[in-house]
Chain A
Amino acid sequence: MSAIDVKSEISGRVFEIVARPGDRLAEDDPVMILEAMKMEIAVGAPCNGVVKQILVGNEDSIAEGQVVAILEAV
């Protein structure tokens, strides 16, 4: 089991956190939705895994490349 960083590829504001710790996600499943470039853009799981930790909250401002959650790869 290895911990995988979930990074945002764009700066924006957290609009909705979709996944919860313990959720099992497939690659590209949304972990959270950001509002950026006037759109709702999903931050997807980089690989199949189980959500270990969500590191940000609603309305938080996120920088490009920021780690927003941790997955445990399966």
Chain B
Amino acid sequence: MQSGEINADVTFGERRAHVRAMGGAVKLKARRDAGVMNARERIDALCDAGSFTEIGEFAHSVRLEDAARTPADGIVTGFGKVEGRVVAVASFDLTVLGASSAQNNIRKLGFLKESASRAGAPCAFLIESAGARMPDIQGAAGMGRIGLLNSNNRDRDTPWVSAVLGPCYGMGTWYAVQSDFTSVRRDAAFSVSSPKVVSVALSQEVSPEELGGADVHAEITGFADHVGETDAECIAALRRFLSYLPSHAQEAPPLGREPVEAHDGARIAALIPQARSKVYDGRKLVELVADVGSVLPWRTRFGRTLETALARINGRSVGIVASNPMRKGGAIDGKSCDKMTEFIVLCDSFNIPMLLLADTPGFLVGLQAEHEAVAGKIMNNLRALHLASVPKIAVVVRKSYGQAYLNLGGAGADALAVMTTGEVGFVDPSVAVSVVHNRRPAPDDPAYAELMQDMVASNSPYALAGIFAAHSVIQPAETREWVANMLEVYARRPSAGVGRHRLATWPTSL
């Protein structure tokens, strides 16, 4: 049954065996030899053992002459469970005509997504695809039918996760870039068009990796939230990400299953340098505030001056945004700003409270930043923070200057604390002295020293708390306790932790 139509007298058992054989023994062996899972093994890796029920098992190409060589029409779909919770799964089968997109598999995906929305279940996409299938999607009739299916809408009513596990062009890429969490295997690549199409259309000779390799998406586009070495590692990352999220937008996230263990608060005090000129690794602060072992970094290699991570505090999911002074001194550049905005959209859509840890000299300005429209990014970010209805808890760790102070919780946080190490002002005190008093640093100038002293004093935590712009001044060692208390105080009890989701329809990437 490798080509042509399927005869009416083929039995159920033969039909099922044919579908389970996917693109045939030769192609499956080649994958096994290359250490790559096939589409059904990937489903087994994602789902709890024995929990998967296939939907559309006997669907095939809309062209009956291709029915026999298109088992499941190249995309295996159905429902399984991840840690006991129902998840809709689509696994692209590259052994069947390159898992190319065609009418019936697009209909299967559309049905799966709609069913998942009704069921209140996340969607997981295990992707590799050669792109559109010819001749199925050819000419006005081919494109017209795709338009009638209108299948690329998303309202963030349930979480979406993707693993890109091979070459991927066209439709598969749309799923990768729309997902809340996308893991990319290091040797995989995804882009709108393949190198072949790019070569014909633009006379550009490029490799798949140059167009859309894991490094490109981790560092340049930001589409890769995680990069893994193997299928198993990428799929395990999807399982872990889902553990922090509710099944759908109308419920609160689940509690963690691990026993809660906290780091010693004194380690936070030891991490933060006294000297204003010294830096530290913001990732370590995130680790120390969260429950031990609970941090899942999100999009680590893009916009590194802000760290974003899902974590738990006292077993409850929290989305953490933290300055990383090790990167550009913690100055927020355009990429970091966009990353934070997308992270706010994620947290707000799925009722995950947010913690903002600020240690920043401000937004990175200058020619390049202005030409890249940083002003618009800053206002988008502030607007997202304002529209988000999840609890927003903010801590000024050390410096927080200018507009960046407002964007990191100075404006609109439910609770704002300044550490005793904190300082808030319009700009760095030395810059302020230079600008306001027209004086440059000079070791033997007592007037400069006095002006600096005054300027530093005016930036003190108590100046902020004194006008009740900050709600608390805290010692670094008590940060976790204060944050945990505020997360409990500001839990949205009247709605059982469910927010208003005003960001749910925001663009999927900025």
Contacts and interface: CB of A to CB of B under 8 A. Distances in A.
Contacts of A38: 276-277, 329, 361, 428, 430-431
Contacts of A9: 327-328
Contacts of A40: 277-279
Residue of A35, A36, A41 most packed against chain B (CB within 10 A)? A41
B331 interface: yes
B279 A10 contact: no
Interface in B410-447: 428, 430-431
Nearest to A36: B329
B327 A37 contact: no
B328 A10 contact: yes
Nearest to B366: A11
A64 B329 CA distance: 13
B326 interface: yes
B325 interface: yes
B354 to A, nearest CB: 25
A37 B279 CA distance: 11
B361 A39 contact: yes
B326 A41 contact: yes
Interface residues of B, number: 16
Contacts of A64: 368
A35 B332 CA distance: 17
B327 A39 contact: no
Interface in A26-60: 35-42, 44
Contact of B278 (A10, A36, A39): A39
B503 to A, nearest CB: 30
Contacts of B328: 9-10, 36-37, 41
A36 B381 CA distance: 25
Residue of A9, A10, A39 most packed against chain B (CB within 10 A)? A39
Interface residues of A, number: 12
B140 to A, nearest CB: 48
Contacts of B278: 39-40
A64 B334 CA distance: 15
Contacts of B431: 38
A44 B328 CA distance: 12
A41 B281 CA distance: 11
Interface in B294-349: 325-331
B369 to A, nearest CB: 11
B198 to A, nearest CB: 26
A37 B326 contact: no
Contacts of A10: 328-329, 331
Contacts of A44: 326
Interface in B351-403: 361, 368
Contacts of B327: 9
A59 B65 CA distance: 73
B215 to A, nearest CB: 12
A40 to B, nearest CB: 5
Contacts of A42: 279, 326
Interface string B264-298: 00000000000011110000000000000000000
B333 to A, nearest CB: 9
A64 B361 CA distance: 17
A4 to B, nearest CB: 14
A44 B327 CA distance: 10
A9 B325 CA distance: 13
Given A9-B327, A9-B328, A10-B328, A41 B279 contact: yes
B208 to A, nearest CB: 21
Given A10-B328, A10-B329, A39 B279 contact: yes
B282 to A, nearest CB: 13
A38 B277 CA distance: 6
A32 to B, nearest CB: 14
A66 B329 CA distance: 17
A10 B326 CA distance: 11
A44 B281 CA distance: 12
Nearest to A44: B326
A10 B147 CA distance: 46
A66 B499 CA distance: 45
A36 to B, nearest CB: 6
Nearest to B430: A38
A49 B198 CA distance: 36
Contacts of B428: 37-38
A44 B304 CA distance: 13
Nearest to B362: A37
Contacts of A39: 276-279, 325, 329, 361
Contacts of A36: 328-329
Nearest to B325: A39
Contacts of A35: 277
18 contacts: A9-B327, A9-B328, A36-B329, A37-B328, A37-B330, A37-B361, A38-B277, A38-B329, A38-B428, A38-B431, A39-B278, A39-B279, A40-B277, A41-B326, A41-B328, A41-B329, A44-B326, A64-B368
Q: Which 5 A-B pairs have the closest CB atoms?
A: A37-B329, A39-B329, A10-B328, A37-B361, A38-B428
Given A35-B277, A37-B329, 14 more contacts: A9-B328, A36-B329, A37-B328, A37-B331, A37-B361, A38-B277, A39-B277, A39-B279, A39-B325, A39-B361, A40-B278, A41-B279, A41-B326, A42-B326
